[in-house]
Structure 1
Amino acid sequence: MHFPLRGGIFLTKSGACKAVDGISLSLKKGETLGIVGESGCGKSTLGKAIVRLYEPTAGKVAINGQDITKMSQRQLRPLRRQFQMMFQDPAESLNPRMSVGEIVAEPLVIQNIGNAQSRREQVLSLLNRVGLSESAVDRFPFEFSGGQRQRIGIARALALKPELIVLDEPVSALDVSVQSQVLNLLLELQEEFGLSYVFIAHDLAVVKHISDRVAVMYLGKIVELADADTIYKNPKHAYTKALIAAIPVPDPAARQQREVLGGDVPSPINPPAGSAFGHRLNHPRYEESIGLDLSLVEIEPGHWVAADPCCLEDEDYQRARQLADSQ
């Protein structure tokens, strides 16, 4: 997903911001795939590209084997029942001029499902399922707390009984106690309805709680992908290790050795020619990474990592390089 940069009197294209660059992912039915990384690494852009809120610059998005990438909005409309998105800020994603009942019923109206009475019954059922009272149906979003507004967003996402929901940092704006309530609700709904989640977050502790597999993003690329336990117990990539080391430990007596990352995140407008993370750290092997294929290799069963000399231990890098060269 590259965004064109334009300038000059005639707004001619002068470059591109490579927000998402060369990512390939798959998702099983009923699975939760966590996407983690620093702010600005392209997580939200990836989520919006998956549900076609952005039209990808290249590549394809396939839902149940059906390529939706080049479909017109008219062709895409009936297929939107299969996938929905839940946004980060519930205050911004809910129309303040619409009642909660109108907000939750809107997908049903757009898809021409049922009549006014059946829609209201379904809305009341959805609100009850996400833990809101029936009296909420005629009230407005500003009358609710952040956690309650996020529950409204969940009810709206469930209205069309989708198979996939892309969750863009759904708990980052909530208090910690409310976060756990919303996460537990999402897990209950997943089991009840057989949902698949793409769970986008920068909080690795939250991702660990809810995800089956975790993909680590850096500067628009996936640098490591494995099941959640493997990522946390045996990370291979230096960036993944730095993120895990930054997770706070709920013990005031515990002492942690934290590695403070130096340098600045490179610009996606003019990314480095070699290892992006190695460039940030001014790594001595950065020059070696220029021109190398840094795509993911399966270094262990189900554990994928970028074959990057700046970010792997020597033994892991030799193994990854052999695999990359044999592909």
Structure 2
Amino acid sequence: MSKLLEVKDLKMHFPVRGGVTLKKMGAVKAVDGVSFFVRPGETLGLVGESGCGKSTLGKCLVRLYEPTSGNIVLESADISELSQKNLRPLRRDIQMMFQDPAESLNSRFSVRQIVREPLDIQKIGTKAERNAKVDELLKKVGLPASAADKFPDEFSGGQRQRIGVARSIALNPKMLVLDEPVSALDVSVQSQVLNLLVDLQKEMNIAYLFIAHDLAVVKHISDRVAVMYLGKIVELADSETIYKNPRHAYTKALLSAIPHADPDYVSKRIRLGGEVPSPIDPPKGSAFGHRINHPCYEETIGMEMPLVEITPEHWVAADPCSLSEEDWEKAKDIVK
């Protein structure tokens, strides 16, 4: 199947400045060489601990941040270095939905103004046609037409997130970047919003990059899953493979933390020692090996640890600190 979005070696380094002259002292390597692709109509889940760079990556894709280097190819257009003027027409194809609906919606705008804004910016149709489109969008996300003339503060968190959904699909995008879209909602409301997103995807054939830290939610909605650690993707495979047969030690630890409904289930929680390394001064070798003080860490200093296809469509970082002996031997041979 063709690729809708392809990201190649993307980096986002934020300068750290200090002193009287604000001289550059270093950089926060929030995203540090990430590559992946998304197919039309599929959902790629992106998971990892807080601070691993998930949200920064999402904002780079829609150019809210200017990437330090790398390529973002949307269909045949490389959008990573386009000017804002040249990027504007392509914004119809890739939109973003944010985590907190209370902060992402302008409280001084009515719902009609909020949902209509993308249509106004892109100058689509007449004002009457745009207003009619707003009513149609609100109906599509499960809100009454009367909601259009109210303000965000008059709605619950779940309803505000539905307004955010309506705004994000107003231009009929080919892809949505969803930055933890249900984490700020009550559990009962989360399932409603997730089901809405699934229904819209089927109806409109939208591709999703679904950013989350809740692996149970990601399992429910994703076709493939990418696991991110300290600015890098360390494992990527289809959802069933990731959850049934994880190969990277970090992925195994994350999955072991998923709660089980069965009260008789005996937890096999993998508890990681150490601290997550700083993205300002990341380890010179395996970041995960450094965290757990792995005996192989010293031999990884200066080593390239690219993603390798350990089994068909299952990619994992070639890291001796994070793989079984069998997988490391296989990954080592592939790198050679």
User: Normalised by the shorter chain, which TM-score bucket?
Assistant: over 0.9
Deviation at 1:42, TM superposition (A): 0.0
Deviation at 1:249, TM superposition (A): 0.3
- The answer to whether the 8 Å contact 1:36/1:200 transfers is yes
- Partner of 1:150 in structure 2? 161
Deviation at 1:253, TM superposition (A): 2.6
- The answer to whether the 8 Å contact 2:47/2:213 transfers is yes
- Partner of 2:66 in structure 1? 55
Amino acid at match of 1:297: V
Distance (whole Å) between structure 2 residues aligned to residue 308 and residue 226 of structure 1: 17
- The answer to whether the 8 Å contact 1:223/1:306 transfers is yes
Matched residue SS, 1:101: helix
Matched residue SS, 2:36: coil
Amino acid at match of 1:299: I
Q: Is the strand fraction higher in 1 or 2?
A: 2
- Partner of 1:236 in structure 2? 247
Deviation at 1:168, TM superposition (A): 0.2
Amino acid at match of 2:42: E
Distance (whole Å) between structure 2 residues aligned to residue 102 and residue 287 of structure 1: 57
- The answer to whether the 8 Å contact 2:41/2:206 transfers is yes
- Partner of 2:96 in structure 1? 85
Coordinate RMSD, CA, aligned: 0.7
Q: Deviations over 1:302-326 (max 9, x none)?
A: 000001111100001100111011x
1:184 and 2:178 correspond:
no
Note the residue ranges of structure 2 that are not aligned, 5 or more in a row. Answer: 1-11
Deviation at 1:252, TM superposition (A): 2.2
From 100, 115, 121, give the equivalent of 2:132.
121
Distance (whole Å) between structure 2 residues aligned to residue 162 and residue 258 of structure 1: 40
Instruction: Tell me the TM-score normalized by structure 2.
Output: 0.96
Amino acid at match of 1:315: E
Note the residue ranges of structure 1 that are not aligned, 5 or more in a row. Answer: none
Deviation at 1:177, TM superposition (A): 1.1
Distance (whole Å) between structure 1 residues aligned to residue 81 and residue 286 of structure 2: 32
Distance (whole Å) between structure 2 residues aligned to residue 106 and residue 291 of structure 1: 49
1:108 and 2:119 correspond:
yes
Deviation at 1:288, TM superposition (A): 1.5
- Partner of 1:290 in structure 2? 301
Q: Deviations over 1:209-265 (max 9, x none)?
A: 110100000000000000000000000000000000000001223221212111100
- Partner of 2:57 in structure 1? 46
1:201 and 2:239 correspond:
no
From 169, 185, 193, give the equivalent of 2:180.
169
Amino acid at match of 2:84: Q
- Partner of 2:41 in structure 1? 30
* Worse-matched range after superposition: 107-116 or 249-258: 249-258
- Partner of 2:320 in structure 1? 309
- The answer to whether the 8 Å contact 2:110/2:149 transfers is yes
1:132 and 2:131 correspond:
no
Distance (whole Å) between structure 2 residues aligned to residue 156 and residue 111 of structure 1: 13
Distance (whole Å) between structure 1 residues aligned to residue 271 and residue 50 of structure 2: 17
- Partner of 1:257 in structure 2? 268
Distance (whole Å) between structure 2 residues aligned to residue 106 and residue 179 of structure 1: 26
- The answer to whether the 8 Å contact 1:293/1:324 transfers is no
Matches within 5 A, 1:266-285: 266-285=277-296
Q: Deviations over 1:79-126 (max 9, x none)?
A: 100110000000000000000010000000011111221111100000
1:21 and 2:32 correspond:
yes
Q: Deviations over 1:156-191 (max 9, x none)?
A: 001011001000000001111111111111011001
Number of aligned residue pairs: 325
Distance (whole Å) between structure 1 residues aligned to residue 176 and residue 326 of structure 2: 39
- Partner of 1:212 in structure 2? 223
Instruction: Tell me the TM-score normalized by structure 1.
Output: 0.98
- The answer to whether the 8 Å contact 1:20/1:221 transfers is yes
After superposing on structure 2, the runs of 4+ consecutive aligned residues of structure 1 that deviate more than 4 Å are none
Deviation at 1:60, TM superposition (A): 1.1
Matched residue SS, 1:188: helix
Distance (whole Å) between structure 1 residues aligned to residue 265 and residue 316 of structure 2: 31
- Partner of 2:7 in structure 1? none
